[in-house]
Amino acid sequence: MKNNKHFLLRLPLLALISFLFLSIAVFFVKDKKKISSQLETSKYPIPIMTVIRKSFGVSSSSGEFDHIISGMSKIDVLKQYIKQVEIPITGMLFRKAVNDVFCLNLNKISDEGEGAKLLVYSDEIMEGLREALNIKNPSTESNKTIMSLKKAEVMDLYLKTYNLHTYEELIRIVNLIYGINLPGISSLEDSRISLYSKNQWLLQKDTNLFVVYTGKGDIDVKVYPTPYYIKQTGLTELPQELQNALLNLGFRFDIEKAAYYYQNPSGETVSDSFKGQTLNAIRAVVGNMTVD
């Protein structure tokens, strides 16, 4: 009887302990689901979101500022990540960050021999590679050796030679080696222009109006309307205003390609200024259109 009495006295305590354990379990399950939900709906992968969230003064699992992060331009997200990450940014880590933010695989571009097609890199890059490879006397053969390297190797050697790892330096080096203007790509996010380059889509949305499609090495460019534009307007041709602008830039209409087409006669990558003129011509026309 005495044992039964003690057991009965312990019942409220046992019930309280059970309730506390159950409450803790429910809390962790809910918290886990909340974190899982935030990770699933966040715009960027976990490594990027972790650093960017912390830069807002909240924990890596907090979704409090995710709506602000989602509204940031891709180049601003990359810049924030590079400036806030607590380890030195190597070429490999930067390429990973670019892939996470822009869905642009610089390693794949390097492995496939894509990117800017140049006889030689700029003097700045060539000098850095000669120093990295201990080339004392520049020659045609040594230039060929440098140009035979994969672009990721060139990037890593150059960065290591001069110990470069700031955001501004990395952005500039990617443009010089790969021919990829990351700020320029970011500025086109809401331009309604789809961009195919380096054997992959850099920008693409179902409701975009025009496509800028560059071939291997970016030595040629096609411009043509998207299926969405054709469906919304009932037209299969580019607006006359855009046709005229492209003709003035040196494009011609290619019947087989069903697109306005330009090929650099030098056999090298078209210049940044030409790319900019082409994209600006398209953006000007898009700005005057009323297509939903």
Q: Identify whether residues 270 and 211 lie together within a single domain.
A: yes
The answer on 98 and 144 residing in a single domain is yes
Q: What is the pLDDT of residue 10?
A: 56
In a domain? residue 262: yes
pLDDT at 42: 74
292, part of any domain: no
Q: Which of 1-10, 31-40, 72-81 has the lowest mean pLDDT?
A: 31-40
As a whole number of angstroms, the distance between CA 252 and CA 241 comes to 14
Sign, CA dihedral 230-232-234-239, equals negative
In this structure, the answer to whether residues 79 and 101 fall within a common structural domain is no
Among 42-46, 80-84, 141-145, the minimum mean pLDDT is found in 42-46
pLDDT of residue 9: 52
Same domain as 283, residue 197: yes
Sheet containing 252-254: order of strands: 200-203, 193-197, 210-214, 220-225, 259-263, 252-254
Look at residue 14 in the predicted model and tell me its pLDDT. Answer: 52
Q: Give residue 221's identity as a one-letter amino acid code.
A: V
- Are 99 and 78 found together in one domain? no
Under a CB-based contact definition with an 8 Å cutoff, are residues 142 and 149 in contact?
no
**Region of poorest pLDDT, from 12-21, 200-209, 278-287:** 12-21
Strands 220-225 and 259-263: what pairing?
antiparallel
Rounded CA Rg of the chain: 27
Which runs of E-coded beta strand occur in the chain? 193-197, 200-203, 210-214, 220-225, 252-254, 259-263
Residues 80, 95 share a domain = no
Distances (CA, A) of 112 to 115, 144, 156, 204, 266: 9, 18, 17, 21, 22
The number of domains in the chain is: 3
Residues 111 and 31 in one domain: no
Note the pTM of the prediction, 2 decimals. Answer: 0.80
pLDDT (tens digit per residue) in 241-266: 999 999 999 999 999 999 999 999 99
Question: Domain range for residue 107?
Answer: 91-183
Least confident of 28-37, 117-126, 160-169: 28-37
- Residue 30 scores a pLDDT above 60: no
Q: Is residue 215 part of a domain?
A: yes
127 inside domain: yes
**Is residue 172 domain-shared with residue 195, that is, in the same domain?**
no
Tell which of 183, 217, 246 closes a domain. 183
Give the other-Cβ count within 10 Å of 275's Cβ.
20
Q: Where are the alpha helices (DSSP H) in 116-205?
A: 123-132, 140-147, 151-162, 167-178, 182-187
With DSSP H G I counted as helix, E B as strand and the rest as coil, what are the percentages for the chain, rounded to 5?
A: 60, 10, 35
Q: Is residue 236 part of a domain?
A: yes
Last residue of a domain, one of 84, 114, 136: 84
Give me the pLDDT at residue 86, please: 79
Last residue of a domain, one of 134, 159, 183: 183
Query: When comparing pLDDT for 281 and 14, which is higher?
Result: 281
CA angle 171, 175, 176 (to 5 degrees): 115
Model confidence at 18: pLDDT above 90 = no
So what's the pLDDT on residue 144?
96
Percent of the chain with pLDDT over 70: 86
